[in-house]
Structure 1
Amino acid sequence: MAKPSRKVIITCAVTGGIHTPSMSPHLPVTADQIAEQAIGAAEAGAAILHLHARHPEDGRPTQDPEAFARFLPRIKQSTDAVLNLTTGGSPVMQVEERLQPALTFRPEVASLNMGSMNFGLFPMLGRYENFQHAWEPEYLEKTRDVVFRNTFKDIEYILESCADNGTRFEFECYDTSHLYNLAHFLDRGLVSGPLFVQSVFGILGGIGTHAEDVAHMRRTADRLFGDEYVWSVLGAGRHQMPITTLAAAMGGNVRVGLEDSLWDGPGRPAESNAAQVLRVRQVLEGLGLEVATPAQARAMLALKGGDQVNF
């Protein structure tokens, strides 16, 4: 008898805190836009929706729980997708601010960066001649001289603050050192399997996008975590589809979305998050793989269920 097809979790990161409104007219900014695009991505096949919020007036990233409250109930009422709230926010925020949405809403999943790093967005300054808002070039330039702080103390603070919430984490690992940091917390018993490990490729300051980089991250995670983890991969910018295709062929799950890339092919802007979900779904199905439903993703990640969140 043939083995059943492997189920692949598609995560969609809907807006993020990297790109700015001037970079794409399709980047969701308002609560209505974020909700509509998140729901569309779920309908296209995303089992997990990774969510940030923005100020509706000018698109600046915000971790104000009130901004999240404007779209979380609507998304939850419209889809069964797992809602994953960021604790990353943006590189210029402090950890106490970044944690507020996860503390307030007690989600099934929250993201957690596993180490401090240079997080260089400033090269994007040279790609755009005009910006709609004064904060945009200032924000990008500031990353030339900022360390995205995620110290051991910061990580402990997030883990301990959410210990009673039943929230599990998407551990974002931008380099192999972050995998070793995660192994440290596993050894101490502050986290437990199955670990949801999101390997991030292509951010300036993190690991690169060569196929050997992807293979190295996978080998290291296998050695450190064995069968205690679920591997997912994202590629930044133009590397999004090549990286996710490679990772899927290696047994990984995938993440797409306008947080990670504004493109739907060479020189072709993505008009929605759903467009990227459909694109990667075509890749997965072309490889003979099946897309996981939200219920299957919950089972794979041992999540508490959407009825146990605070929204």
Structure 2
Amino acid sequence: MAKQKTIITCAVTGGIHTPTMSDHLPYTHDDIARQAIEAAEAGAAILHLHTRDNKTGQPVVEPEAYAGILARVKQSTDAVVNITTGGSPRMLIEDRIKAAETFSPEMCSLNMGSMNFAFHPLADRYDSFKFDWEEEYIRGSEANIFRNTFADIRLAADRLRPHNVKFEHECYDVGHLYNLKFLMDQGMFKAPVFLQFVMGILGGIGADIDNLVFMKRTADRLFGDQYRWSVLGAGAAQMGLATAATQMGGHVRVGLEDSLFIRRGELATSNAQQVEKIRRVIEDLGAEVATPDEAREILDLKGGDRVQF
């Protein structure tokens, strides 16, 4: 029998962790591009990309901040590029989709509901910060509503439909699965869909194996065999949930967006280090890591020759 092909997605920098939290978190455009390429070389078939201010590391979404990163990634690797439409919890959807509209990637993330995406407890771990914006940004998340209303989702879907992108439907709780099913019934999204179970974010579902099984069973009931899925575990849950997913027929996401650590108490030195670790797990457990072209086939993507970067 053919071995299962497991897609590794690497989320390179995100919009939550700040430069003070780890010297290894890439935030300059050069470092984001370099670490993305290294992650692809280590086995990541999909690169999930955010960008940041080149000097301060603050999350930004302007297309010009992506341009150089995307060009270098395209020149150096065949990996699938997935551009976020999340940005950060403080941004409006109209701004968050501009890069995807500009560059027409193969994939985009799309959150399936609003939530209090909170990470304010992290601020108490640090006595000082590298940049003035960081502390207020972290503490302020206690009051943030990460807005992704049905109207927001429709706007993103309508504006990006001409680009034939495949959405990574980020589901932070079981209700987000029902939201997606409702929107599919309305004709907004077509099967097969790609689900990313996002677990362990304060404000969303907890990072427990029981919850992963519950999310998977709910998806089975709602979508039958018309979906593919992956899991990301925030923080310390990253590798444990990814390992479980490989044995449940799912795909995995790692990267410094989701966890700054390689093991408890030890900061990861790069995104590639996390990719290398989960690749060893996947292969030791009898599966194979999907190549970028295999990921394209599994997820029915339009192809790297149809992007605009």
Relative to the length of structure 1, the TM-score reads 0.98
Task: Report the CA distance between 1:226 and its aligned residue.
Answer: 0.9
Matched, 1:26 2:24: yes
- 1:57 maps to 55
Deviations 1:138-161 (A, max 9, x none): 101111111100000000000000
- 1:171 maps to 169
- 2:277 maps to 279
Q: Superposition pairs for residues 1-311 of structure 1, below 5 Å? A: 3-311=1-309
Q: SS where residue 55 of structure 2 aligns?
A: coil
Q: SS where residue 69 of structure 1 aligns?
A: helix
Q: SS where residue 96 of structure 1 aligns?
A: helix
Q: SS where residue 117 of structure 1 aligns?
A: coil
Distance 1:226 1:292 in 2: 23
Q: SS where residue 162 of structure 1 aligns?
A: helix
Using the TM superposition, name which of 287-296 and 243-252 deviates more. 243-252
Q: SS where residue 233 of structure 1 aligns?
A: strand
Relative to the length of structure 2, the TM-score reads 0.99
Distance 1:20 1:126 in 2: 13
Distance 2:175 2:74 in 1: 35
Task: Report the CA distance between 1:286 and its aligned residue.
Answer: 1.2
* RMSD (CA atoms): 0.6
Task: Report the CA distance between 1:247 and its aligned residue.
Answer: 1.4
Q: SS where residue 80 of structure 1 aligns?
A: coil
Distance 2:31 2:224 in 1: 40
Distance 2:202 2:227 in 1: 26
Counterpart AA for 1:118: N
Task: Report the CA distance between 1:292 and its aligned residue.
Answer: 0.3
User: Which runs of no fewer than 5 residues in structure 2 stay unpaired?
Assistant: none
Counterpart AA for 1:89: G
Task: Report the CA distance between 1:281 and its aligned residue.
Answer: 0.5
Deviations 1:78-111 (A, max 9, x none): 0000000000000011111111111111110000
Task: Report the CA distance between 1:132 and its aligned residue.
Answer: 0.6
Q: SS where residue 163 of structure 2 aligns?
A: coil
Aligned residue pairs total 309
User: Which runs of no fewer than 5 residues in structure 1 stay unpaired?
Assistant: none
Counterpart AA for 2:170: E
Task: Report the CA distance between 1:194 and its aligned residue.
Answer: 1.7
Task: Report the CA distance between 1:123 and its aligned residue.
Answer: 0.8
Task: Report the CA distance between 1:70 and its aligned residue.
Answer: 1.6
Q: SS where residue 163 of structure 1 aligns?
A: helix
Extract structure 1 runs of 4+ deviating beyond 3 A. Answer: none
Task: Report the CA distance between 1:185 and its aligned residue.
Answer: 1.2
- How high is the sequence identity, in percent, across the aligned residues? 58
Q: SS where residue 26 of structure 1 aligns?
A: coil
